[in-house]
Structure 1
């Protein structure tokens, strides 16, 4: 049996929920591996976790580091270390926050925007190739179900 076919052991007779937990675990492991691969497309020295941070900055820029820490549920020190790496690689820039002189706003640099765009295109092409044999309606249904599931984990800090 492959990892996606392995029969999970139901807890409390809840086989369907157990199967969802198992398949999400497979999806998350594979997604982390893909993020690591795509992070190397952006820059060979980019850590897998920093790739997700770069994507988020691209989505919400200008971003404050404290908001990013809240979004990822990590401490400010962790975010600060990852931001220094992204800045050192020339992928993000900082500018003073005009509303709070103590804070900085983070944006993608032109280089960061181009490199992230390439990586996102590669990811989209990969998913398109994987799902090419599926009917369009099934792909739409998967997207809707994933959005519905992701909404369960939304926090007040999400946009």
Structure 2
């Protein structure tokens, strides 16, 4: 396993470099929306959430997410709403414009990946997704045990 772990380490670093290099080609749907904001929008896709919950989900710190939320609020993509469980607290929710931007972003990303992986079989894509999700779950579990 040691040799495989070393090879995996090199491959993951290569993948991160490739993803960083392709950021310029990644779909953009709003001139002031950075790729780092996508994770916040996706975290709010299904329901409003507290900043701390978004940070935990995205393995980020609350201060970073708070700054991102402030930026997204200024853009009109998210809004603060009362927490129905605790009237003193606020949740962050996608605005109507935020939902529209996120829907467009997801559609453009999917189209980009369809083009990018056009010579992959459906089985290869499914296998890659399975192992990528498994790897991310392992890394996330390790992060929770070693903050």
Q: Which runs of 5+ in 2 are unaligned?
A: none
Q: Which runs of 5+ in 1 are unaligned?
A: 1-12
In the TM superposition, what are the counterparts of 1:78-157 in structure 2 within 5 Å? 78-155=64-141
Deviation at 1:89, TM superposition (A): 0.3
CA RMSD of aligned residues (A): 2.5
Change in CA separation of 1:22 and 1:128 when aligned onto 2, cut-off 3 Å:
same
* 2:53 matches 1:49: no
3-state SS of 1:94 partner: strand
| Contact 1:36 1:47 (C-alpha < 8 Å) held by counterparts | no
Number of corresponding residues: 143
Structural mapping, 1:21-32, within 5 Å: 21-32=9-20
Deviations, residues 92-145 of structure 1 (Å, cap 9, x unaligned): 111111211232122111111111111111111111112111222111111111
- State the distance in 2 between where 1:42 and 1:104 align: 27
1-structure distance, mates of 2:24, 2:95? 21
Cα shift at 1:32: 4.5
